[in-house]
Amino acid sequence: MEQAVKYADIIIDISTKNVDRVFQYRIPSELIESVQVGSRVMVPFGKGDTMRKGYVVSITTVPSFAPERIKEIQDVVPGAVSVQEQMILLAWWMKERYGSTMNQALKTVIPVKSKVAPKEEKTIVSLKTSEELQELLGEAERKNFKARIRLYKALLENGELPYRLTAEKLGITNAMLKPLQEKGILTVKTETKSRDPIKDYERESRRVILNEEQQVAAETVITDYDAGKRGTYLLYGITGSGKTEVYMELIEHVLKQGKQAIVLIPEISLTYQTVMRFYRRFGNRVSIINSRLSAGERYDQLERAARGEIDIMIGPRSALFTPFANLGLIIIDEEHEGAYKSETSPRYHAREVARMRANMNHASLVLGSATPSMESYYKALHGEYKLLLLHNRAKKDSRLANVHVIDLREELAEGNRSVFSRKLRELMEERLQKGEQIMLFMNRRGYANFVSCRSCGEAMQCPHCDVSLTYHRDGTLKCHYCGHEILIPKICPDCGSPFIAPFGAGTQKLEEMTKKTFPNARVLRMDADTTAKKGAHEEILQAFSEGDADILIGTQMIVKGHDFPKVTLVGIMAADLSLYAPDFRSGERTFELLTQASGRAGRSELPGDVVIQTYAQDHFAITSAAEQDYEQFYKEELLYRKMMGYPPAVGILGITLSSKDERALVDAMGYFHKQILKEYCFENLVFIGPVDASPYKLNDIYRKILYIKNESYDILLKVRKSAQILEDGQECFKNINFQYDL
Ligand code: ADP
Ligand code: ZN
Ligand code: ZN
């Protein structure tokens, strides 16, 4: 049988400067097996056909110009592609996929060199026996030395602590360690060689034994792996089903083969407990990066990876670009999280880039979630991903919470005007009496959403953005988009009326009402305002887990990943608030938030209750969350997406044009829209818009979006390429910025 002729797009002489262009070559039939994306090849180049080294970035059966003029690849260069080269290829792929410039892509993928001298990795080691530590702990508890209590407890649990990984999370400073060192209680060791974690931690005795479901999940990946098969797996397991244990089993397997692993965890879920679980199992072959690291510290950690000093990197989205030379496995925990998508160019999604990086390295990719994204579950059901299931909680004594859905309209009809429904109030009182803890979740921050004039009805707007300013209790109005801040005006700037007042309710207001309704309860609040300061986030969580408060009030932040065994009641104040966001994913996000929030109650032996207060008690996102029924939600949501033509049923390309000059923007968008319509009149493209972006004006820049829908991703990719060509050539686009989202 005759094989189709294949062509390879090749970057010549890779260097970070000179890779914006690719050249196409024919793959001779004898090399068809050996030439792959990422291969290094020798090709004739230029007029004299001098032999140059090139890198294959894509392979196609469609020649991009006359086939008789396409030269042939001479040979494949044996040997592995270096990490640096791989990263450049990855950047090139990202540029193509997301429509950014090569420069933006390179900046994302390759860390900025920084002159900071590498810091040594320090370890805090106890010099005392565990009995002596117990005694010290007792003493610290009597004196109520919070940080010391934490430190002694952590040392008792682990024997030693990796300084960099734990100091910040435990709130431990150098000044605090000094006297303890002088007293001979502990020492701070500087490690040069990695130690053997097995010896120090009696690893086997601490190991959990995987239950049957976990075993099956892990074996599926491992069997494939050992057979040389690499794939993408979706590990769908309810909260507490033991996904992390499965990840660790898989990591251990690839580490044994001399490979490395990257674990992506959303930043807010990257807690002390999570870090220590990995550390306990893998010792200081683990490192973490997070957004709080300085450029130097970050560079330092990535260099350690490049030098082979660590085997596991844990971190948010950007950890994906850790320069491991022998990457064997990528794990994305909580794969449904919005934070995996970059908001700046290149607007990449970690899932997709991870898939690409895994391909380049012949590595496997495991996605894990209790509430998988519609996209991933869709792919799993259609055979693109392998589905691994965990149905049960791993700890035998923990069970799912009782969920009560309360109709707020009915509460009001029966004369209850408080933010607390009667059921929630009753359960709160009971918990407070028993000394158990409560979490109240409110999907909004600020004291009130906005401030308006009671006379003319105008809401106070940010002068730079198209959004209302948010009222804060310190008497200021802030723009949550650009940071613009003013004192609340005494009279309305529009009509001069003195009757200006906050409107709506947020976390601050809820805190106030909670204190009023339960005057004896100790209340903590966690939202973007109370956590603005470095370390505040950890401090609040610490305080709550140490029992310093009875009630924790917060936004999304409090529902992700934290494990508070004494929390037995979760109240969701207004479940439908997030349903009305102008975004086709709002139902998915509501379902996910409610499910995650419900998962916070009853994580231990104590039975838990969840109260969902809502005005939309019949909405399927709310009913299926109340029943913790993901499949049910997925089925209904997919019907809706099919009907409306949204992903994953249909592909959408979003093209945003922006400019300081509103007139120029309107003209440019009009022209652009017309050109695309003309060029693609024979394809079945569905256009939505152009519409104003939300918000329309941001930082004095106006933005309009054109959405283009089609079932075929390839057609949308073609449209984007044409759009980029248009963008480059036209005078009217000179001061217009283009952004693509596909
Ligand atoms: P998930 O990541 O799915 O939320 P975790 O891996 O955090 O779940 O597990 C939840 C809890 O159950 C943890 O405290 C963990 O130590 C425990 N656990 C997990 N697997 C097992 C097991 N096979 N046997 C006993 N306990 C387990
Ligand atoms: Zn007014
Ligand atoms: Zn603003």
- CA atoms within 13 A of residue 740's CA, in its CB half-sphere: 22
| 336 touches 371 (CB < 8 A) | yes
Q: Which domains does the chain have, with CATH numbers?
A: 6-109 (3.40.1440.60), 121-191 (no CATH), 209-390 (3.40.50.300), 402-447+505-641 (3.40.50.300), 651-741 (3.30.70.600)
Q: Residue 13: its pLDDT value, please?
A: 66
State the distance from the centre of ligand 1 to the C-alpha of 274, rounded, in angstroms. 11
User: Relative to the alpha carbon of 469, which ligand is closest?
Assistant: 3
pLDDT at position 197 is: 40
Which residue carries 């920084």 as its tokens?
A: 114
211 Cβ below 6 A of ligand 1 = yes
Please report the pLDDT score of residue 117 as a whole number: 61
| 362 pLDDT higher than 60 | yes
CA distance 131 to 152: 11
Cα-to-centroid distance, 17 and ligand 1 (Å): 47
- Report whether pLDDT(19) > 80: no
List, for residues 439-448, the tens digit of each pLDDT value: 999 876 444 4
Q: What is the pTM of this model?
A: 0.81
Q: Point out the ligand 1 atom lying closest to the alpha carbon of residue 333.
A: 2
DSSP string, 93-161: HHHHHHT--HHHHHHHHSPPP--PPPPPEEEEEE-S-HHHHHHHHHHHHHHT-HHHHHHHHHHHHHSEE
How much is the pLDDT for 445?
46
Which pLDDT value is given to residue 126?
84
pLDDT in tens, 111-144: 777 666 666 678 888 888 888 888 989 998 898 8
Check: CB of residue 700 under 8 Å from CB of residue 464: yes
Local structure of 59: helix, strand or coil? strand
Ligand nearest to the CA of 486: 3
User: How many Cβ atoms sit within 10 Å of the Cβ of residue 67?
Assistant: 11
pLDDT score for 582: 56
Token pair in block for residue 175: 């000044």
Q: Give the tens place of pLDDT for each residue, 196-210.
A: 443 444 444 567 899
> How many angstroms separate the alpha carbon of residue 460 from the centre of ligand 2?
9
pLDDT at residue 451 tops 80: no
245 within ligand 1 shell (Cβ under 6 A): yes
Out of 208, 213, 277, give the residue to mutate to test ligand 1, the one with the largest number of ligand atoms within 8 Å of its CB.
208
Range in 325-329, 343-347, 359-363, 429-433 with the lowest mean pLDDT: 343-347
Higher pLDDT, 477 or 16: 477
CA distances from 462 to 422, 504, 578, 581, 641 (A): 38, 18, 23, 20, 34
289-312: pLDDT as tens digits = 887 777 788 888 888 899 999 999
Q: Phi, psi (5° rounding) for residue 552?
A: -110, 125
Separation of CA 251 from chain center: 20
- Beta strand 232-237 pairing with 470-471: unpaired
Q: For ligand 1, is residue 651 a contact (CB within 6 Å)?
A: no
Q: Is the pLDDT of residue 428 over 70?
A: yes
Q: Is the peptide bond before 78 cis (omega within 30 degrees of 0)?
A: no
Q: What angle do CA 25, 26, 32 make, to 5 degrees?
A: 125
Residues in Cβ contact with 428 at an 8 Å cutoff, skipping those fewer than 6 apart: 420, 438, 518, 551, 569, 571
Q: Of 7-16, 305-314, 469-478, where does mean pLDDT reach its minimum? A: 7-16
Tell me, what amino acid is at 310? I
| Contact indicator for 526, 540 with CB cutoff of 8 Å | yes
Q: How confident is the model at residue 610 (pLDDT cuts 50, 70, 90)?
A: very high
List, in order, residues 6 or more apart from 469 with CB less than 8 Å away: 450, 451, 460, 461, 462, 477, 478, 479, 484, 486
Q: Residue 669: enclosing H or E segment and its boundaries?
A: helix 662-679
Tell me how far CA of residue 122 lies from CA of 188, 192, 201, 203, 677, in angstroms: 6, 9, 18, 21, 61
Q: Quick one: pLDDT at residue 236?
A: 97
In this predicted model, which residue has the larger pLDDT, 662 or 556?
A: 662
Q: Tell me the residue length of the chain.
A: 742
622-661: per-residue pLDDT in tens? 999 998 899 999 999 999 888 878 888 888 898 999 999 9
**Rounded distance, CA 515 to CA 511, Å?**
6
State pLDDT tens for residues 300-354. 888 889 999 999 999 999 999 999 999 999 999 999 998 899 888 888 999 999 9
